[in-house]
């Protein structure tokens, strides 16, 4: 019984050490103080604001201030992998998922950020943002619409 208790006590700090949201790549935009190609975490747990953080800094975007949501994909062939590993990889496609969030900041200025989101996280993020903001996601094309709606 004691070894189990000791193991539980030793591992208990790890239970709270989960990700603070979805990891995304900030591709670009107009957000002050955030550099292009930065790794960020987007937390959709809050009921009133989207929380964006990176290495100690964070800011919030109230859902009521979100003006646009747009989803798009970039599909490309895997030419380098095909040349280095196997010609069969030329048939494989690489899909990158991009989410653009437009919002009004506290000063009343229009801001935008383009995020690259992982394949497994894009659908839940789109659904959550639609539900919390009351805005419909705009799709760049039919292929993005199919991927975003599942």
* Position 6 pLDDT exceeds 50: no
What pLDDT shows up at residue 100? Answer: 95
Least confident of 1-10, 64-73, 136-145: 1-10
What pLDDT shows up at residue 11? Answer: 46
Q: How many CB atoms lie within 10 A of CB 14?
A: 8
Mean pLDDT confidence for 131-139:
93
Closest CA to 132 of 41, 43, 23, 20: 43
Mean pLDDT confidence for 67-80:
78
How many CA atoms are closer than 13 Å to the CA of 20, on its beta-carbon side?
12
Residue 44: strand, helix, or coil: coil
* Position 78 pLDDT exceeds 60: no
Model confidence pLDDT, tens digit, residues 104-131: 999 999 999 999 999 899 999 999 999 9
What pLDDT shows up at residue 96? Answer: 87
143 pLDDT band, cuts 50/70/90, is: confident
Mean pLDDT confidence for 123-141:
92
**What percent of the chain shows pLDDT beyond 90?**
52
* Position 81 pLDDT exceeds 60: no
| Residue 8, CA distances (Å) to 11, 15, 16, 70 in order | 5, 10, 13, 44
* Position 23 pLDDT exceeds 60: yes
* φ and ψ of 129, to 5 deg: -65, -40
Higher pLDDT, 6 or 114: 114
Our separate counts of H helices and E strands in the chain read 4, 8
CA dist 60 and 137 (Å) reads 20
CA dist 54 and 93 (Å) reads 30
Decide: 112 and 99 in contact? Cβ < 8 Å: no
């Amino acid at each position: 019984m004691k070894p189990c208790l000791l193991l539980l006590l030793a591992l208990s700090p790890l239970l709270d050490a989960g990700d603070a949201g979805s990891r995304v790549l900030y591709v670009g935009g107009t957000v002050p103080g955030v550099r292009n190609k930065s790794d960020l975490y987007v937390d959709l747990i809050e009921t009133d604001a989207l929380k964006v953080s990176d290495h100690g800094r964070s800011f919030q975007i109230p859902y009521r201030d979100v003006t646009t949501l747009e989803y798009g994909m970039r599909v490309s062939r895997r030419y380098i992998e095909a040349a280095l590993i196997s010609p069969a990889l030329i048939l494989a496609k690489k899909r990158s998922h991009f989410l653009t969030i437009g919002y009004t900041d506290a000063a009343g200025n229009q801001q935008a950020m383009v995020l690259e989101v992982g394949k497994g996280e894009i659908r839940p993020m789109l659904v959550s943002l639609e539900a919390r903001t009351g805005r419909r996601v705009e799709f760049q094309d039919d292929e993005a619409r199919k991927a975003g709606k599942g």
